[in-house]
Structure 1
Amino acid sequence: AGRGYRFLAKDLGDYDIVFSDPLSRRFDYDRDGRRSLVRGDTEHGHLAWVPELPAAGLNHPRPLYVWVPPGYDQSEDRYPVLYMHDGNNVFDRFQVRSSPGGTWDADQVMEDQLAGGHVRPGIIVGVPNSVDRFEEYTHVPDRYSGTLRGGDGDDYVAFLVDEAKPAVDARFRTLPDKANTGVMGSSLGGLISFHAGYLRPDVFGFVGGMSSTFGWGRFGLDGPTIIERYAALTDLPERGQIFYLDSGGGPAPVCPGQEDNYCVTLEMRDLLAAKGVDRTPPDPDASPLPADVNLFWYWSEGAAHNEPNWRVRLHRALRLFFSPAS
């Protein structure tokens, strides 16, 4: 992905220290870790970063990791943007990461889909989590494993809309309108994506959740769950949003088995359809998907709750949001 370089220095013990350029915006990873890039190329996308944002209302400032498509540096085009949570697990397999399960490898999945003509070029933003993940990614408090946790989701969504998105729009050539802005995550990241879509339908035209923790709110308290909040909406079809949701797991032997949030994902799917968001693809493997699809549900029978399985399913969500027919 372009010409890369690192700096070499000596520490006090006269040992070599190799590190990337802290002032370079462009970077990627290889087997030796992070390296800086002079310029991206036309064959591969590359990563860039937005320096640490204050994250007002949250306890932890954070940077943003941004993947731009092949040819970005050689073009003047503008691109749709997908914001993905748990951004420290989103990109390259060589990325230093917080999850022992690996990364989504979203940059490689997106490049593969581009090469196959299944998607249009776009930008993916990885928004890192923090030690307050349970608090930031949940819309209400709940009692989880005997501990009262969560409920700062409104502040996290405000960070996305008021800090993260303006920073990305100012630094990159984006299509900033609702139709070209999506939000997506897995597990609690799927929950907060649907909460973001609930709160700000004017900003997020696409909402995606994999193995989403839709039952949060009633594990040990009285809710409401995000499903109950969507159920109370009277204008859901008029919001003009597109929804992707999936899970692994399956009935055990029938719901309410909760392997990989299978049953609550079905419940959310059925609720959206009953509300009038019901244009589903006749063939989930179609490429391109029909332009009028606004609900895509997929079940990977028996799949576990981890990054390798989300990586395998990611192309379906990318085909929906970055559809060439859009």
Structure 2
Amino acid sequence: MWSCVVSNETDDTSNLQLCQNLSLILSIFTLIYLIVCFPIGLCYNALLLVVNLYNKVSMTMPDVYFVNIAIAGLVLNIIAPIQLLGPAYTQWAVWDFNNEVYITLLILFNISSLVIMYSTTLLSLDYYIECALPRTYMSSVYNTKHVCGFIWGGAVLTSFSSLLFYVCNHVSTKIIECSKMQNKEAADAIMVFIGYVVPAIAVFYAFVLILRIRKESTPLDQESGRLDPSVHRLLLASVSIQFVLWTPYYAILLVHTFYGMQGKHFYGQHAKTYYFLKDLSELLAFSSSFAMPLMYRHMNRNFSQKLSRLLKKLHGGSNQGCSHERSVVQQVVT
């Protein structure tokens, strides 16, 4: 949790009071996330994954992307407690910038964020293809599964370039070749451009195409092979929530990159405000692993039926953890 370790003896009473107030606010938000959002997000991500994998035959193109997002969400769920309970300025050794554990978790976080953003982006593009050219199988489940494989591979390769900067910052005194790769801001700049700017442009372009084709009445509007209209609402909601929750994180990353490249640093009250906004943005980013599966659960019409079949198959053996789902499904089916 955020604390006032950054304060020093020169801070006046007003600065110390501001630091304490920001610390209290962020600590409350963190506790709410860890007590409420974290277990629910973990449960629903696992539920989304298991239910769809059990019903592979009935999976649609959007389901594959949401399964992909759920896997990345589980990774974020694993990282979240370590990140939120032990940032660098609490002097916790596990989260020291020069520690290998920190670097590993940071790379996992970057990979997960890239998978989430690009899965959402490609979902919007594939949805346009499905609307424009139904029954062409260009956005089929088979093709989407291979695309998701490329997403994970591309995320790993993209994060590898950032990994070089972080590693060289750690071992620059030992390896001469790393002398020109000590700039952490360069790694952050890569993540901002590839992880946010490119997906934002692609999503904007996809939405323009979707709105254009939905305004034009065509004989294909009555095509039975089209996706359920609820998918459009799910797409709009998922893309909107993803960018709302991830934009503050990338904005703070961009600010840090800009000031770092100019050799500037935050001091006094500006430093306290910056660290508060930085950790609040990370908390919002972690919240995407809670919001996405919950939204999918309530907006996907077929999910309750799939869950009901799974529960009948297990004969009530999965009552632990997500036991409340059984009563909810029974009400829906009734």
Q: TM-score category by the smaller chain?
A: under 0.3
Q: Which has the larger radius of gyration?
A: 2
Higher helix residue share: 2
TM, length-normalised to structure 2: 0.20
TM, length-normalised to structure 1: 0.20
**Which has the higher relative contact order, 1 or 2, with Cα contacts under 8 A spaced 6 or more apart?**
2
